[in-house]
Chains A and B, each alone.
Chain A
Amino acid sequence: AQSVTQLDSQVPVFEEAPVELRCNYSSSVSVYLFWYVQYPNQGLQLLLKYLSGSTLVESINGFEAEFNKSQTSFHLRKPSVHISDTAEYFCAVSDRSSNTGKLIFGQGTTLQVKP
């Protein structure tokens, strides 16, 4: 079985400052890793994913995440945040060997960007 822990429930940060949202996972099997973003009262949108290859993955809006197998982490970073980045962020994992496509989600981290 897998589990995902997002270490911070809320992260307040000033506009244009850097931010890191932390994600650790536990799994006895190899996993795929995802970050999703949710704006208020909306569904989730995929931000980025790690399936294979380079351990550093990037999104089109400046976020990046690095898969660290030894530390079982997949932290999300952005060098300079905008007010529009205010949202809830979810880390998720999926079992590589399973064909169900099921995702296990962390508890979520609310990013609050202040002017």
Chain B
Amino acid sequence: DGGITQSPKYLFRKEGQNVTLSCEQNLNHDAMYWYRQDPGQGLRLIYYSQIVNDFQKGDIAEGYSVSREKKESFPLTVTSAQKNPTAFYLCASNSGGGSYEQYFGPGTRLTVT
């Protein structure tokens, strides 16, 4: 089955630690996205990548970093510089080139204490 996988589903970290969230897709999509979801705020774009080895900042990139070394993988690192890292993180992809529908993974809930 084609789709997007995110792991783990739940993640717990101590304050001051960096943590990397995994996102893998087997849809052969060019573009991938990371969103952060907080209650009552909808989804906010962190980073996106339209092609391998290239990515752009979204609206709330501070405290986060990404890489895109392979077409199917777009990991997100939440660094210790992120002031409020506890949130639900969603990865998405679309086939690019004017395609408009984004496909979402199941999400990772990160709790930092």
- Which of A6, A101, A105 interacts with B100 by CB under 8 Å? A101
Q: A43-B90, A43-B104, A101-B99 are in contact. Are A106 and B42 (CB under 8 A)?
A: yes
Where the two chains meet, the residues of A that have a C-beta atom closer than 8 Å to any C-beta of B are 4, 6, 9, 32, 34, 36, 41-46, 49, 51, 90, 94, 99-103, 105-108
| Contact between chains at B42 and A107 (CB < 8 Å) | yes
| Contact between chains at A43 and B102 (CB < 8 Å) | no
Q: A41-B109, A108-B40 are in contact. Are A49 and B100 (CB under 8 A)?
A: yes
- Which of A9, A46, A94, A105 interacts with B43 by CB under 8 Å? A105
* Residues of B20-51 whose CB lies within 8 A of A: 31, 33, 35, 40-45, 48, 50
Which A residues touch B102, using CB under 8 A? 44, 46, 101, 103
